[in-house]
């Protein structure tokens, strides 16, 4: 009993910590121009690879840019793009998942075959190939991630709809002659929305990792915009002498991702969705 | 069993066709004319005549479906075209680069099994105790860690500072340690937790109660009965991860200059070497599907219930 309570409390604590980290990063992202001590893209070769000073609290990179400012602006890029990608995927997969699950028929059949084929590829690899072929740019990075990964979400949402569809309240609505569109909006959507939110927060960390991975390979965000994965890539020739170039951005990615993962799990437990 | 294998094999055909179709379409997403892209990549100025001549040579003037079937015919004979950059056969380059990646992936698999299975087992037995809490935290760290960052940390602390392992490249067994550990790390947490959950689910099953009633020692029950059954989902998962790891090796190989498929793939993307990109995607897709097939077959071999259901 005591064990159980302790566990719950610890989870609670973890949730509070993760909420604090996420809010802090959101503030960083929103108010980056006011919080950054220097212009993140200002190149000053004379000041390159310097240690911490009052002007540059975390030192400068190989082009003399302020690392702290780039980290702060990087929050904006990483969080912004991750949520944009996730949002776009949801815009595609929620309607499609509901359509395939609730109405079924030929659309469902076609949809499932498409899943089989798209899921036959390792998804990171296919995104990589798409960016490679379309050409490295931010727009193509977003396009490549959305095009490849929406099927996973659509399939999960389809499954959620299938399990809700047979429950009594939906059957009752059907018997009353409620139109399908109303059933979907009034009954199906509210029944699955909490699971979808949990899904988003459990996976957003993975999206952030994939984006920074692609940027690390030089295929995502293009210079001069600051992004953590790209900063690590930039540090490659210098990190043996100045490891801080690589330490800070990696630390940022790690903290963001772990905060979202903790938050996602805490949210799932709080909504008690463990069975799904 | 043979019926099951036959059924599983025939279900592969549409998926393989789908893979080939997607790979074929990929090449037609190139912005602009593939013939111009080819000429640029081989440093020939694209004039009207050279482009027209090349379009005929590459068959780009034919209708799309004819192009697809001609391409598919060639692929079946393992002719994936020539690299724009090195002018070598794409198939031969892939074969050369495939083995180092397989080696890396197998080494990672060993790390995963050796680290995550004992930890998972112990945290299931001592649920809620220190070991369990520790493995929970380790699991969070492992799935949240950016691979490329971990790679650099290992290089910096173990190679540069302590000089324990060689930094880059492939050669001795010591070269294999850091890249495979980096690749394995993301999966360690997942499998640790998976085995723990699976064992917890089985610890109170009737066969355990029966074994206990027979007076068997706890250690024997756990190892002989619970572990054996709980390993099933882990084996399936590992097989599927194997295919994923072959492609996850992209980042690891880039960091450690490991001469495998991943590096070949990234280099061909950066060089816009389209036939090579296409060849790599097709090859990885097929390997991934074959891995999943082998997993299915192993699973049905280990768990006869699946076979029977398939025959019904």
Domains of chain B: 2-89 (no CATH), 91-311 (1.10.3720.10)
Q: What is the mean pLDDT of chain B?
A: 82
What confidence tier does A83 reach under pLDDT thresholds 50, 70, 90?
very high
**Overall pTM > 0.90:** no
Q: Which residues pair with B82 in a beta bridge?
A: B89
Q: Å from B181 to nearest chain A CA?
A: 18
What confidence tier does B287 reach under pLDDT thresholds 50, 70, 90?
confident
Residue B272 phi, psi dihedral angles, 5° rounding: 55, 45
| Residue A89 in this model has a pLDDT that exceeds 90 | yes
In this complex, do A253 and B149 lie within 8 Å of one another by their Cβ atoms? yes
Q: Å from A237 to nearest chain B CA?
A: 11
Q: Which of A113, A120, A239 sits opposite B156 (nearest CB)?
A: A239
Task: Inform me whether the C-beta atom of residue B289 falls under 8 Å from chain A C-beta atoms.
Answer: yes
Whole-number pLDDT of residue A3: 62
| B92-107 mean pLDDT | 88
Asked if residue A188 lies in contact with residue A162, where contact means CB atoms within 8 angstroms, the answer is: no
Number of neighbours of residue B239 by Cβ within 10 angstroms: 19
| B184-193 mean pLDDT | 89
Task: Inform me whether the C-beta atom of residue B134 falls under 8 Å from chain A C-beta atoms.
Answer: no
CA within 13 Å, CB half, A72: 23
| Residue A276 in this model has a pLDDT that exceeds 50 | no
| Best mean pLDDT range from A240-249, B125-134, B302-311 | B125-134
Q: Å from B49 to nearest chain A CA?
A: 25
| Residue A10 in this model has a pLDDT that exceeds 70 | no
Whole-number pLDDT of residue B277: 87
Q: A235-258 pLDDT, tens per residue?
A: 777 777 777 788 888 899 999 999
In this complex, do A120 and B266 lie within 8 Å of one another by their Cβ atoms? no
Q: Which of A125, A132, A249 sits opposite B247 (nearest CB)?
A: A125
Q: How many contacts (CB atoms, under 8 Å) link A and B?
A: 129
Residue B216 phi, psi dihedral angles, 5° rounding: -70, 150
- For A262, the domain range is 2-275
Distance, CA of B285 to CA of B24 (rounded, Å) = 13
Regarding predicted confidence, which is higher, A3 or B184?
Answer: B184
| A258-276 mean pLDDT | 75
Regarding predicted confidence, which is higher, B74 or B135?
Answer: B135
- In this prediction the ipTM stands at 0.82
Task: Identify the closest residue of chain A to B284 by CA–CA distance.
Answer: A121
Distance, CA of A62 to CA of A239 (rounded, Å) = 10
Q: B78-93 pLDDT, tens per residue?
A: 777 777 777 788 888 8
B25 token code pair: 């379409």
Buried b (16+ CB within 10 A) or exposed e, A247-265: bbbbebbbbbbbbbbbbbb
Residues of A in contact with B280 (CB under 8 A): 129
Cα–Cα separations (whole angstroms), residue B108 to B169, B175, B246:
16, 13, 10
Task: Identify the closest residue of chain A to B20 by CA–CA distance.
Answer: A117
Whole-number pLDDT of residue A8: 63
| Residue A48 in this model has a pLDDT that exceeds 80 | no
Cα–Cα separations (whole angstroms), residue A61 to A153, A225, A238, A242, B70:
39, 14, 9, 9, 51
| B249-266 mean pLDDT | 87
In this complex, do B269 and A132 lie within 8 Å of one another by their Cβ atoms? yes
In this complex, do B149 and A116 lie within 8 Å of one another by their Cβ atoms? no
In this complex, do B288 and A253 lie within 8 Å of one another by their Cβ atoms? no
| B160-183 mean pLDDT | 76
Distance, CA of A118 to CA of A150 (rounded, Å) = 10
Distance, CA of A188 to CA of A208 (rounded, Å) = 30
Task: Inform me whether the C-beta atom of residue A239 falls under 8 Å from chain B C-beta atoms.
Answer: yes
Number of neighbours of residue A128 by Cβ within 10 angstroms: 28
Alpha helices in B126-260 (DSSP H): 130-144, 147-154, 173-202, 206-213, 218-220, 228-256
Residues of B in contact with A235 (CB under 8 A): 152
Distance, CA of A63 to CA of B111 (rounded, Å) = 39
Task: Identify the closest residue of chain A to B240 by CA–CA distance.
Answer: A122
Angle, CA A212 vertex, CA A211 and CA A215 arms, to 5°: 90
What confidence tier does A91 reach under pLDDT thresholds 50, 70, 90?
very high
A199 token code pair: 């899904």
We report the CATH number of the domain holding residue A202 as 1.10.3720.10
Distance, CA of B7 to CA of B261 (rounded, Å) = 31
In this complex, do B277 and A132 lie within 8 Å of one another by their Cβ atoms? yes
DSSP A178-245: --HHHIIIIIIHHHHHHHHHHHHHHHHHHHHHHHHHHHHTTSSSPTTS--HHHHHHHHTTTTTT-THH
| Residue A274 in this model has a pLDDT that exceeds 80 | no
Residues of B in contact with A116 (CB under 8 A): 14-15, 18
Q: Which residues pair with A85 in a beta bridge?
A: none
Contacts of A216 (CB under 8 A, 6+ apart): A229, A230, A232, A233, B146, B148, B251
Whole-number pLDDT of residue A86: 93
| Residue B105 in this model has a pLDDT that exceeds 80 | yes
Whole-number pLDDT of residue A113: 83
| Number of structural domains in chain A | 1
Regarding predicted confidence, which is higher, A45 or B214?
Answer: B214
| Residue A133 in this model has a pLDDT that exceeds 70 | yes
Angle, CA A37 vertex, CA A229 and CA A63 arms, to 5°: 50
| Residue A1 in this model has a pLDDT that exceeds 60 | no
Residues of A in contact with B281 (CB under 8 A): 121, 125-126, 129
| Residue A227 in this model has a pLDDT that exceeds 70 | yes
| Residue B33 in this model has a pLDDT that exceeds 50 | yes
Task: Inform me whether the C-beta atom of residue A232 falls under 8 Å from chain B C-beta atoms.
Answer: yes
| Residue A85 in this model has a pLDDT that exceeds 90 | yes
Whole-number pLDDT of residue A275: 45
| A49-53 mean pLDDT | 70
Q: Å from B214 to nearest chain A CA?
A: 30
């Amino acid at each position: 009993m005591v064990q159980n309570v302790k566990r719950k409390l610890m989870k609670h604590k973890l949730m509070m910590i993760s909420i604090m980290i996420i809010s802090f990063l959101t503030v960083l992202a929103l108010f980056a121009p006011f919080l950054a001590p220097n212009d993140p893209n200002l190149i000053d070769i004379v000041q390159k690879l310097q240690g911490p000073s009052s002007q540059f609290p975390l030192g400068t990179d190989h082009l003399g840019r302020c690392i702290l400012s780039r980290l702060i602006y990087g929050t904006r890029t990483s969080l912004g793009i991750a949520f944009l990608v996730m949002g776009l995927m949801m815009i595609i997969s929620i309607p499609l998942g509901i359509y395939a699950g609730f109405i079924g028929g030929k659309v469902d059949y076609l949809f499932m075959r498409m899943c089989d084929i798209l899921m036959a590829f390792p998804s990171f690899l296919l995104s990589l190939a798409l960016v490679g072929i379309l050409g490295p740019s931010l727009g193509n990075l977003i396009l490549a991630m959305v095009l490849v990964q929406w099927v996973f979400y659509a399939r999960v949402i389809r499954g959620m709809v299938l399990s809700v569809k047979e429950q009594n309240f939906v059957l009752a609505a059907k018997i009353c002659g409620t139109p399908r569109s109303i059933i979907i909006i009034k009954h199906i959507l509210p029944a699955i929305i909490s699971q979808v939110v949990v899904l988003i927060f459990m996976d957003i960390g993975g999206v952030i990792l994939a984006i920074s991975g692609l940027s690390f390979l030089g295929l995502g965000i293009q210079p001069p915009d600051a992004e953590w994965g790209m900063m690590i890539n930039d540090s490659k020739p210098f990190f043996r002498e100045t490891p801080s170039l690589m330490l800070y951005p990696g630390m940022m990615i790690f903290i963001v991702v772990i905060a979202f993962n903790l938050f996602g799990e805490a949210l799932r437990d709080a909504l008690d969705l463990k069975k799904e | 069993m043979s019926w099951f294998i036959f059924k599983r094999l025939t279900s592969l055909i549409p998926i393989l066709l789908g893979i080939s179709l997607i790979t074929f379409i990929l090449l037609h997403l190139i912005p602009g004319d593939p013939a111009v892209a080819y000429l640029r990549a081989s440093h020939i100025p694209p004039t009207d005549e050279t482009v027209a001549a090349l379009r005929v040579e590459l068959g780009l003037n034919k209708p799309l479906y004819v192009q697809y079937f001609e391409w598919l015919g060639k692929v079946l004979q393992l002719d994936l075209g020539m690299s724009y950059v090195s002018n070598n056969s794409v198939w031969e380059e892939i074969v050369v680069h495939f083995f180092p990646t397989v080696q890396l992936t197998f080494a990672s698999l060993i790390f995963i099994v050796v680290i995550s299975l004992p930890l998972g087992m112990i945290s299931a037995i001592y649920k809620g105790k220190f070991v369990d809490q520790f493995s929970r935290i380790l699991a969070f760290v492992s799935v949240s860690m950016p691979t490329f960052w971990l790679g650099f940390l290992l290089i910096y602390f173990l190679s540069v500072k302590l000089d324990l392992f060689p930094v880059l490249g492939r050669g001795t067994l010591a070269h294999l340690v850091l890249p495979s550990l980096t690749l394995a790390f993301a999966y360690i947490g997942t499998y640790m937790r998976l085995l723990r959950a699976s064992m917890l689910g089985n610890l109170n099953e009737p066969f355990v109660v029966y074994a206990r009633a027979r007076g068997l020692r706890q250690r024997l029950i756990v190892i002989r009965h619970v572990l054996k059954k709980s390993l099933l989902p882990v084996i399936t998962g590992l097989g599927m991860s194997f295919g994923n790891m072959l492609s996850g090796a992209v980042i690891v190989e880039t960091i450690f200059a490991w001469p495998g498929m991943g590096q070949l793939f990234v280099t061909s993307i950066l060089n816009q070497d389209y036939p090579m990109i296409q060849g790599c995607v097709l090859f990885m897709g097929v390997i991934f599907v074959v891995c999943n097939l082998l997993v299915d077959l192993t699973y049905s071999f280990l768990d006869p219930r699946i076979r029977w259901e398939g025959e019904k």
